[in-house]
């Protein structure tokens, strides 16, 4: 465990020095300030941010994850030659990437929001939810990218696959669901659409945020039934569980792959 923390610490300090994390941080800082200056209310800003973050944070974390994985390959191989549990090496690296990405997101957004007084506003809960959910998305997608990295030694293939996975999750899945809903429009679709949202982390994150931002009224009858589901304690538990499953599946796959891989 001590060794793992040591690697994690090294990893973090390495990442903090890299310009990309700084850029990522500055990007959110700028967006935060910019949106707060343009928009009049916190809830409006959070809704606009929701649009950006839901798309961007998975993309950035998967691309950044895979880049980091390939770039630190030599160092990883060096570490593998040492008497350290190989599981710990990768977990530490993965945690390093996800932590630093979420940290720059959280800090980058918190600074402008705190300066504009979110702490004393009613929207604090929604803001924390936004940060929490985007951090979870970061963890999920950097895990997926690590798994893809482990599976593919070919860098180009690895990059391509991460982008494709992101594209499927962010765009294609929605299109598919839309087509399915239109084909089966004669049937009661509230529950199927609800399940469809649970099966994709990006959609789930978006839905949870929309429900909590009280845009649910927009969704009409579907929104009402969604609110009944997501608004309750039960619903929140299910959402959390399904997000955790999304974190858990790639992580176990990753660990199993690490154990068996011949470097």
Partner 1 sequence: MVLNEVIISKSKLLFLILLWSSFINSQTIDVCKTCNFKTIKKAIKFSSINDTIFIQKGTYKESDIEINKPLIIIGNDRPIIDGEYEGEIFNIKSDDVIIKGLRIVNVGKSYIKDYAAIRVIRAKNFNISDNIFDNLFFGIYIEKSSHGVINNNKIYGNSKEEYSSGNGIQLWYSNDILVSNNYVTGVRDGIYLEFSDNCKIISNTSHNNLRYGLHFMFSDNDIYEKNSFVDNGAGVAVMFSKQINMNDNLFKDNWGTASYGLLLKEINDSNITNNIFDKNTTAVNIEGSNRLIFKHNNFTNNGWAIKVRGACYTNNFTYNNFIFNSFDLSYNSSVNDNIFENNYWSSYNGYDLDNDGYGDVPYRPVKLFTYIVNTVPETVVLLRGLFVHIINFSEKVSPVFTPRKLLDQNPLMNIIR
Under rule CB under 8 A, residue 189 binds partner 1:
yes
Query: At its nearest, how many Å lie between partner 1 and the CB of residue 208?
Result: 12
Contact residue for partner 1 among 13, 51, 153, 252 (CB under 8 A) = 51
Contact residue for partner 1 among 1, 81, 156, 182 (CB under 8 A) = 182
Cα separation, 229 vs 258, in Å, equals 38
Q: Cα dist. 19→86, 91, 104 in Å?
A: 28, 23, 12
How long, in residues, is the chain?
263
Closer of 151 and 215 to partner 1 (Cβ): 215
Contact residue for partner 1 among 207, 212, 229, 254 (CB under 8 A) = 207
Phi, psi for 168 (deg, rounded to 5) = -65, -50
Helices (H) and strands (E) in the chain, counts: 12, 0
Cα separation, 73 vs 98, in Å, equals 17
The alpha carbon torsion through 47, 229, 56, 94 (nearest 10 deg) reads 140
Cα separation, 203 vs 211, in Å, equals 12
Contact residue for partner 1 among 76, 121, 222, 242 (CB under 8 A) = 222
Under rule CB under 8 A, residue 206 binds partner 1:
yes
Contact residue for partner 1 among 16, 168, 224, 253 (CB under 8 A) = 224
Give the footprint of partner 1 on this chain (CB under 8 A): 44, 50-51, 54-55, 170-172, 174-175, 177-178, 181-182, 185, 189-190, 192-194, 196-197, 202-203, 206-207, 210, 214-224, 226
């Amino acid at each position: 465990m001590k060794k793992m923390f040591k690697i994690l610490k090294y990893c973090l300090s390495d990442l903090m020095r890299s310009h990309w994390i700084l850029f990522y941080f500055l990007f959110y800082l700028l967006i935060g300030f910019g949106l707060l200056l343009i928009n009049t209310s916190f809830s409006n800003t959070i809704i606009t941010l929701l649009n950006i973050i839901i798309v961007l944070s998975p993309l950035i974390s998967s691309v950044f994850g895979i880049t980091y994985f390939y770039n630190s390959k030599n160092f990883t191989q060096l570490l593998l030659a040492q008497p350290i549990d190989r599981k710990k090496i990768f977990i530490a690296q993965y945690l390093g990437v996800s932590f630093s990405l979420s940290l720059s997101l959280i800090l980058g957004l918190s600074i402008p929001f705190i300066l504009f007084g979110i702490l004393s506003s009613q929207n604090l809960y929604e803001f924390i939810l936004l940060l929490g959910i985007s951090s979870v998305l970061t963890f999920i997608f950097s895990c997926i990218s690590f798994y893809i990295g482990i599976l593919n030694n070919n860098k180009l293939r690895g990059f391509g696959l991460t982008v494709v996975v992101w594209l499927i999750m962010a765009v294609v899945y929605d299109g598919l669901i839309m087509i399915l809903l239109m084909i089966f429009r004669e049937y009661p679709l509230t529950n199927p659409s609800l399940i469809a949202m649970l099966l994709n982390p990006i959609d789930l994150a978006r839905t949870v945020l929309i429900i909590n931002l009280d845009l649910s009224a927009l969704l009409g009858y579907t929104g009402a039934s969604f609110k009944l589901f997501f608004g309750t304690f039960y619903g929140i538990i299910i959402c959390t569980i399904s997000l955790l499953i999304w974190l858990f599946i790639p992580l176990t796959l990753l660990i199993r792959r690490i154990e068996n891989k011949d470097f």
